[in-house]
Amino acid sequence: MAATIKDVARACGVHVSTVSRTFSAPHLVNPATRSRVLATADDLGYRPNRAARALTTGRTFNMGLVVADIANPFFPPLIKAAQAQARGRDYHVFVADTDEDPRVEEELIRTFTKQVDGVLLCSPRLSNRMIERLAEDVPFVVVNRRIKGMPAVLMNVAQGAKHALEHLTGLGHRRIALVSGPIGSWTSNEMQGVAAEAPGLDLIFFGPNQPTEAGGLAVAADVAACGATAVLAYNDLVALGLIEGLSAMEIGVPDQVSVIGFDDILPGRLNRPKLTTVAMPAAAAGRMAVDLLLQSGGEGATVTLDTALIVRESTGRAQ
């Protein structure tokens, strides 16, 4: 016969409730006791019945994680970190990709509503009003969007943009192009807000744009024609597409135009020139989003994570 929770408790010399908490809320169990219970359960071949637990607790022990584009190298570290953090709390994570489409995003969230205990919404494309409406049916934690009264994990884009612009102005750049992302992007708004307050700059704004390499490639000719000596791009993919487009027009980076991205994805480190970028703490954001969703009293809490400028080869002195 299959081992039961009572068998595990008897073998460990603990109460049945301790075994139950080990699987349902492991953070509430003494680490030594937790390790002993898990080892005993493994030896006996005990596996908790998730369906039965859901009926008794009213929880599914599942959470949804919705990302804007799973093909973007920025998201996999966030996804893996969130999954690992959730697994440690005995939760499963259902991952969904909206393909940058707000209609798909809304459809996926509505599908998740009855199947999960909450949703991590990463770089959403829906309006704040729609997200607030959907949050009436399922708890949310939003990553990189500030919505009043809703738990959020924010990566400090303003801090990163400020450091990026200071780096460019320190190199003598004054005419700077800002290449933004999709319509309604919180990241784009943060970048533009910082740039608009920077003194002594001649700024040119281009957007909205696809947040992809193709988006950067498409805007390259306009950037070249505007006479900017430096560019701050929405993300690394846009920056890499822009460098590709400038190179095709025989405009050198950084000899003629300096380029900075956001995210610090692997392709940026492998590119030639290696991309100067603002590193975004994607993995830390994934872990923190899970914690905010599961912790009691997390409603409305906001956590802001630091970003960091990484100077590589795609920026140089203004000519």
Domain CATH number, residue 139: 3.40.50.2300
In 3D space, the residue among 235, 246, 242, 236 whose CA is nearest the CA of residue 267 turns out to be: 236
Q: Is 128 among the domain residues?
A: yes
Model pTM score: 0.84
Q: Confidence class of residue 2 from pLDDT cuts 50, 70 and 90?
A: confident
Q: Confidence class of residue 168 from pLDDT cuts 50, 70 and 90?
A: very high
Same domain, 162 and 276: yes
Element (H, E) at 34: helix 31-44
DSSP secondary structure code for residue 49 in this structure: -
Same domain, 226 and 261: yes
Same domain, 224 and 113: no
Q: Is 311 among the domain residues?
A: no
Same domain, 169 and 254: yes
CATH of the domain at 43: 1.10.260.40
Residue 102: give the domain boundaries.
62-155+282-306
Mean pLDDT value of segment 105-116: 93
Q: Is 78 among the domain residues?
A: yes
Same domain, 290 and 146: yes
Same domain, 129 and 238: no
Same domain, 77 and 93: yes
Q: Is 35 among the domain residues?
A: yes
Q: Is 138 among the domain residues?
A: yes
Q: Write the pLDDT tens digit of every residue in 16-35.
A: 999 888 887 787 899 999 99
**What is the rounded average pLDDT for all residues in the chain?**
93
Same domain, 173 and 272: yes
- How many independent structural domains does the chain possess? 3
Same domain, 215 and 170: yes
Same domain, 168 and 120: no
Q: Which residues does 49 contact at the CB level (< 8 Å), separation at least 6?
A: none
Same domain, 232 and 289: no
Distances (CA, A) of 256 to 205, 249, 259, 267: 19, 12, 10, 22
Q: Write the pLDDT tens digit of every residue in 111-139.
A: 998 899 999 999 999 999 999 999 999 99
Same domain, 162 and 262: yes
The Cα–Cα gap between 129 and 142 comes to: 13
The Cα–Cα gap between 158 and 137 comes to: 32
What's the pLDDT at 28? 86
Strands 62-67 and 276-279, by their bridges, are unpaired
The Cα–Cα gap between 304 and 270 comes to: 29
Q: Is 186 among the domain residues?
A: yes
